[in-house]
């Protein structure tokens, strides 16, 4: 029986990054993946294909609505969806192939099949051909990720009632597209199909969209998306979805009103749940919490010696970069080093246009906790580069400790917010203050100057707005 130092189950961003780090540290490593391609949800059916379609559809939207403002004449731009989808698939293939290559260069053995823990230190791998192989290992890292949550009254049929996986692969834009759940995935895919010609309606149980993000900026995002043609129904509880002649009819309660929505496709994007089916973790005594997440301590150790868990299958935000950093830290701990993840400095992003990005606490959380904070804000309409780009929608907001000036949170609404959030994230990681950021020289003219000005606004010394 082959013996390893580390066996990683699942090859998503948590698992494959852990495998690279283990290889770098000289640990004899294997990674097990049940699906055909490596890369997990993120590369195959999540972050990457969704961003590929968001970019393509954003270009189309630019051609249709924005190009003329720049003096560029594009007559009747139209979408060639098969080409758009092929490009997306090619991007996915390049990246999943790249992960396979990285496993080779880091001397990680790839085992294809369903991994199951049969005892501490023992893992079986059942291939799709039905062959089973047993391996021994000093350490096991569970990185089995998550799957979409299904609604009991709107089960996925893959055709009319779909999850994000199918909504990334439509062969034509649905005429009417109903999205249940206005979180990151729903807002992104709603945006894609709205831009590509669908009539998009979003139903959300809560009184707001984008839960977890700064409320003021979420409301601004909702306003921007409404202007783009997406219809929102908040505080709307979907109670049933039935299929009639291949079309969906959803019923919902809003205040005391009963509403009905007809659609060609319904995306259920009400969240994701940890996945550990067939893993055998319970059988060897691994403890789970009330939400079926594997319980770990701050060193990613489960209650069973030699078994660790990372990524979407444990608590915390279900994000690829969170899974990656946990993978690195976990393997460094296994190798006797001191790995750690700073959960106060994990950015979250919704890749709509404008993008919404946030890191650390929000203004509403600070209020709820009655924290003594100062707020600094700067709108992109006062930023030269944003105006030159004809892309001046949005704002930067900082939340800083009123006494120490330490940055506690940063929130950005802007077309390029996903890139801009990296700077405040670094400053938070280093425990920096708004003054540190505000006194750092930023190139001119750049969008990042708005980040600097918002930091300066904490001390009411922003230059290109009236400080209040």
Mind telling me the catalytic residues?
Answer: 444
Choose which of 19, 30, 92, 143 interacts with ligand FAD (CB under 6 A). 143
Characterize 193-205 residue by residue with b for buried, 16 or more Cβ atoms within 10 angstroms of its Cβ, and e for exposed: bbbbbbbbbbbbb
Do the Cβ atoms of 404 and 421 come closer than 8 Å?
no
| 33 forms part of the interface with ligand FAD (CB under 6 A) | yes
Element (H, E) at 360: strand 355-360
Angle at 379 between CA 376 and CA 381, to 5 degrees: 160
| 32 forms part of the interface with ligand FAD (CB under 6 A) | yes
Least gap, CB of 127 to ligand FAD (angstroms) = 11
Q: How far apart are CA 40 and CA 95, in angstroms?
A: 11
Least gap, CB of 43 to ligand FAD (angstroms) = 8
Choose which of 180, 320, 395, 420 interacts with ligand FAD (CB under 6 A). 320
- Choose between 77 and 97: whose C-beta lies nearer to ligand FAD: 97
Q: How far apart are CA 58 and CA 304, in angstroms?
A: 48
- Choose between 311 and 379: whose C-beta lies nearer to ligand FAD: 311
Enumerate residues 343-362 that contact ligand FAD by CB under 6 A.
351
Q: How far apart are CA 69 and CA 427, in angstroms?
A: 36
Choose which of 6, 7, 8, 14 interacts with ligand FAD (CB under 6 A). 14
**Assigned token pair, 269:** 């994007």
Q: How far apart are CA 315 and CA 303, in angstroms?
A: 15
Q: Which letter does DSSP use for residue 232 in this model?
A: E
| 85 forms part of the interface with ligand FAD (CB under 6 A) | no
**Contact range with ligand FAD by CB under 6 A, out of 36-44, 94-102, 130-138, 283-291:** 36-44
**Residue 51: helix, strand or coil by DSSP?**
helix
Least gap, CB of 95 to ligand FAD (angstroms) = 12
Do the Cβ atoms of 408 and 424 come closer than 8 Å?
no
**Contact range with ligand FAD by CB under 6 A, out of 41-49, 338-346, 362-370, 393-401:** 41-49
Choose which of 42, 84, 192, 392 interacts with ligand FAD (CB under 6 A). 42
**Contact range with ligand FAD by CB under 6 A, out of 32-40, 243-251, 282-290, 449-457:** 32-40
Choose which of 40, 354, 424, 438 interacts with ligand FAD (CB under 6 A). 40
Enumerate residues 273-302 that contact ligand FAD by CB under 6 A.
275, 278-279
Contacts of 202 (CB under 8 A, 6+ apart): 178, 179, 181, 182, 186, 187, 190, 209, 230, 231, 232, 233
| 99 forms part of the interface with ligand FAD (CB under 6 A) | no
| 89 forms part of the interface with ligand FAD (CB under 6 A) | no
Do the Cβ atoms of 22 and 5 come closer than 8 Å?
yes
- φ, ψ of residue 103 to 5 degrees: the values are -65, -40
- Choose between 299 and 367: whose C-beta lies nearer to ligand FAD: 299
**Secondary structure tally for the chain: helices H, strands E:** 14, 22
Angle at 167 between CA 166 and CA 172, to 5 degrees: 100
CA distances from 10 to 14, 31, 126, 213 (A): 8, 7, 14, 29
Q: How far apart are CA 400 and CA 410, in angstroms?
A: 9
Least gap, CB of 64 to ligand FAD (angstroms) = 24
| 328 forms part of the interface with ligand FAD (CB under 6 A) | no
- φ, ψ of residue 124 to 5 degrees: the values are -110, 145
- Give CA 416 to chain center in angstroms: 16
- Choose between 318 and 447: whose C-beta lies nearer to ligand FAD: 318
Least gap, CB of 145 to ligand FAD (angstroms) = 2
Q: What is the largest CA-CA distance in the chain?
A: 71
**Contact range with ligand FAD by CB under 6 A, out of 10-18, 221-229, 336-344, 404-412:** 10-18
Choose which of 5, 25, 28, 34 interacts with ligand FAD (CB under 6 A). 34
| 330 forms part of the interface with ligand FAD (CB under 6 A) | no
Do the Cβ atoms of 38 and 103 come closer than 8 Å?
yes
Binding letters toward ligand FAD, positions 159-198, x by CB under 6 A: -----x--------------------x-------------
- Choose between 185 and 203: whose C-beta lies nearer to ligand FAD: 185
Angle at 387 between CA 381 and CA 392, to 5 degrees: 45
| 373 forms part of the interface with ligand FAD (CB under 6 A) | no
Q: How far apart are CA 158 and CA 295, in angstroms?
A: 32
Choose which of 6, 19, 27, 47 interacts with ligand FAD (CB under 6 A). 47
| 107 forms part of the interface with ligand FAD (CB under 6 A) | no
Do the Cβ atoms of 174 and 263 come closer than 8 Å?
yes
| 438 forms part of the interface with ligand FAD (CB under 6 A) | no
| Binding region for ligand FAD (CB under 6 A) | 9-15, 32-35, 40-42, 46-47, 50, 114-115, 143-146, 164, 185, 275, 278-279, 311-312, 318-321, 323, 351
């Amino acid at each position: 029986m082959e013996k390893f130092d580390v066996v990683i189950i699942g090859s998503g961003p948590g698992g494959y990054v852990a495998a690279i780090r283990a290889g770098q540290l000289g640990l004899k490593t294997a990674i097990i993946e049940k699906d055909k391609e490596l890369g997990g949800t993120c590369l195959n059916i999540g972050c990457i294909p969704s961003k590929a379609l968001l970019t393509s559809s954003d270009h189309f939207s630019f051609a249709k609505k924005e190009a003329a403002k720049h003096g560029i004449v594009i007559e009747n731009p139209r979408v060639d969806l098969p080409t758009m989808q092929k490009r997306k698939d090619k991007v996915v293939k390049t990246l999943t192939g790249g992960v396979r290559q990285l496993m080779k260069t880091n001397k990680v053995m790839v085992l294809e099949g369903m991994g199951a823990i049969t005892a501490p230190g023992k893992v079986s791998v059942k291939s799709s051909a039905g062959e089973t192989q047993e391996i021994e290992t000093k350490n096991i890292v569970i990185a089995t990720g998550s799957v979409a949550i299904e609604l009991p009254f709107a089960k996925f049929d893959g055709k009319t009632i779909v999850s994000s996986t199918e909504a990334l692969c439509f062969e034509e834009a649905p005429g009417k597209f109903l999205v249940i759940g206005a979180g990151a995935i729903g807002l992104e895919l709603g945006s894609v199909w709205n831009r590509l010609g669908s009539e998009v309606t979003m139903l959300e149980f809560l009184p707001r969209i984008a839960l977890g993000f700064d409320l003021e900026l979420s409301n601004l995002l909702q306003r921007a998306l409404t202007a783009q043609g997406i219809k929102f129904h908040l505080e709307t509880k979907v109670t049933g979805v039935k299929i009639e002649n291949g079309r969906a009819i959803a019923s919902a309660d809003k205040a005391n009103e009963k509403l009905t929505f007809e659609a060609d496709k319904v995306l259920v994007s009400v969240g994701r749940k940890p996945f550990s089916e067939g893993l055998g973790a319970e059988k060897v005594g691994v403890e789970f919490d009330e939400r079926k997440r594997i319980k770990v301590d701050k060193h990613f150790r489960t209650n069973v010696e030699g078994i660790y868990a990372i990524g979407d299958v444990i608590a915390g935000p279900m994000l690829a970069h969170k899974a990656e950093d946990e993978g690195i830290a976990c393997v460094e701990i296994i190798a006797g080093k001191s790995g750690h993840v700073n959960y106060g400095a994990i950015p979250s992003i919704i890749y709509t246009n404008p993008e919404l990005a946030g890191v650390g606490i929000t203004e509403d959380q600070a209020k709820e906790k009655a924290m003594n904070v100062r707020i600094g804000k700067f709108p992109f309409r006062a930023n030269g580069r944003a105006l030159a780009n004809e892309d001046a929608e949005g704002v930067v907001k900082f939340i800083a400790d009123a006494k120490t000036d330490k940055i506690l949170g940063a929130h950005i609404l802007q077309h390029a917010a996903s890139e801009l959030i990296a700077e405040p994230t670094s400053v938070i990681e280093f425990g920096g203050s708004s003054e540190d950021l505000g006194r750092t020289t930023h190139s001119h003219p750049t969008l990042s100057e708005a980040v600097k000005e918002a930091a300066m606004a904490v001390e009411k010394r922003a230059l290109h707005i009236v400080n209040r």
